[in-house]
């Protein structure tokens, strides 16, 4: 299948594939739009069953980054990278050194940072070969690991949505899917606010830690959707809201950090018809890229980040209010707003 006929191709400006036999590097970089500025989005390091799944992921994620950056009011376009995790033993430093060389060949149309499976150490390795990298923990404008800021933004959006639905977080039940850097920190915020947590993750140690630290109830991964929670917060991978899972949901609100939560566009309408308030993922999880944007521009400031996080809350409130007024599903409203901002 040619890239232009791919179901997830959305008038992407460029799509790059990189391969290096010596290190085992197999990677895709997709630049969706540079209308608002150079594209930016993290690199995902993940086991993919095949390259077609990796390509689909990078196309969907880069489109989401265009929308996310536009809705957050950033001078950045949307891009994303995925690196297929090699089977067996491999030299991580050599792998990401080569990846940095490849990023540099794109010439500044794409800035990378951390995403699933990546660390600040990896960013430092990539930085040895290219300046088009952020999420560093050293240097004058370094912003460090963006996940705490992402979690902060997710919590703010959960709180806002709860207020809109007349739900007090103190005593409310929240089911959290995924206890990585972001999901676990979201749990910290929710626990501090007095919420009762239901958690799941394929990492049993992370689940045990959440149970001990927050008094959370642990459930198996496939059981998280049917939990009788007020709020469902998906903080793992994408496409978790699909015909099978949507029919199980009992939550009144969905707000989480995962990208591309809706498996297909019609799921948003289905959730709306069930009176479930879906908070569009690329609005909710913009905290990390906001943090990184200041680093890319070389003027990182906690005060500026705070102003942008407040802007995220304002955007979500506008979307919810417009949905209430018009009776339309929130994801469709958000998509229209984002496309208008990026000139599509």
Domain assignment present for residue 303? The answer is: no
Positive or negative CA dihedral for 139, 124, 236, 176?
negative
208 is catalytic: no
In terms of residue numbers, what domain contains 33?
Answer: 3-64+81-127
Same domain? 110 vs 207:
no
Give, in degrees to the nearest 5, the angle at Cα 281 between 275 and 285.
135
Domain assignment present for residue 181? The answer is: yes
Same domain? 331 vs 211:
yes
Q: Which residues of 257-276 are buried (b: 16+ CB within 10 A; e: fewer)?
A: bbbbbbbeeebbbbbbeeeb
Same domain? 34 vs 180:
no
Same domain? 233 vs 321:
yes
Confidence label for 129 from pLDDT (cuts 50, 70 and 90): very high
Residue appearing with tokens 């991580």? 92
* Catalytic residue of the set 80, 98, 196, 308: 80
Q: How many domains, in total, are found in the chain?
A: 2
Global pTM reads 0.89
β-strand pairing of 25-33 with 77-84: antiparallel
pLDDT in tens, 173-196: 999 999 999 999 999 999 999 999
- Looking at the DSSP bridge assignments, the partners of residue 318 are none
pLDDT in tens, 285-340: 999 999 889 888 777 788 999 999 999 999 999 999 999 999 999 999 999 999 99
- Name every residue whose Cβ is closer than 8 Å to that of residue 328 and which is 6 or more positions away in sequence: 272, 322
Positions of E strands within the chain: 14-20, 25-33, 39-40, 43-46, 77-84, 110-111, 173-177, 196-200, 217-218, 231-234, 253-254, 277-278
Is residue 232 helix, strand or coil?
strand
């Amino acid at each position: 299948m040619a890239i232009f006929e791919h179901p997830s191709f959305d008038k992407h400006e460029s799509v790059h594939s990189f391969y290096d036999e010596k290190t085992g590097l197999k990677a895709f970089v997709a630049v969706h739009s540079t209308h608002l500025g150079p594209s930016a989005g993290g690199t995902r390091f993940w086991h993919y069953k095949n390259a077609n799944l990796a390509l689909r992921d990078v196309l969907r994620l880069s489109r989401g980054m265009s929308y996310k950056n536009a809705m957050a009011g950033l001078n950045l376009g949307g891009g994303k990278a995925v690196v297929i995790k090699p089977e067996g033993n491999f030299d991580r430093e050599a792998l990401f050194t080569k990846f940095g060389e490849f990023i540099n060949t794109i010439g500044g149309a794409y800035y990378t940072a951390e995403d699933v499976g990546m660390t600040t150490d990896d960013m430092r390795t990539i930085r040895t070969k290219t300046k088009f990298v952020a999420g560093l923990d050293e240097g004058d404008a370094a912003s460090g690991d963006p996940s705490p800021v992402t979690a902060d933004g997710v919590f703010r959006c959960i709180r806002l949505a709860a207020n809109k639905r007349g739900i007090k977080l103190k005593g409310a039940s929240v089911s959290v899917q995924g206890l990585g850097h972001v999901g676990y920190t979201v749990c910290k915020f929710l626990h501090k606010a007095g919420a009762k947590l239901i958690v799941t993750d394929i990492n049993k140690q992370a689940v045990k830690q959440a149970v001990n630290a927050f008094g959370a109830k642990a459930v198996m991964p496939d059981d998280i959707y049917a939990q009788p929670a007020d709020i469902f917060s998906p903080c793992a991978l994408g496409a978790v809201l699909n015909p099978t899972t949507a029919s199980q949901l009992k939550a009144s609100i969905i707000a989480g950090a995962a990208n591309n939560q809706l498996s297909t566009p019609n799921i948003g309408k289905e959730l709306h018809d069930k009176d479930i308030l879906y908070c569009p993922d690329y609005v909710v999880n913009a905290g990390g890229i906001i943090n990184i944007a200041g680093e890319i521009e070389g003027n990182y400031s906690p005060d500026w980040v705070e102003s942008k996080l407040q802007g995220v809350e304002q955007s979500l409130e506008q979307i919810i209010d417009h949905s209430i007024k018009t009776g339309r599903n929130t994801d469709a409203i958000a998509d229209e707003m984002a496309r208008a901002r990026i000139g599509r």
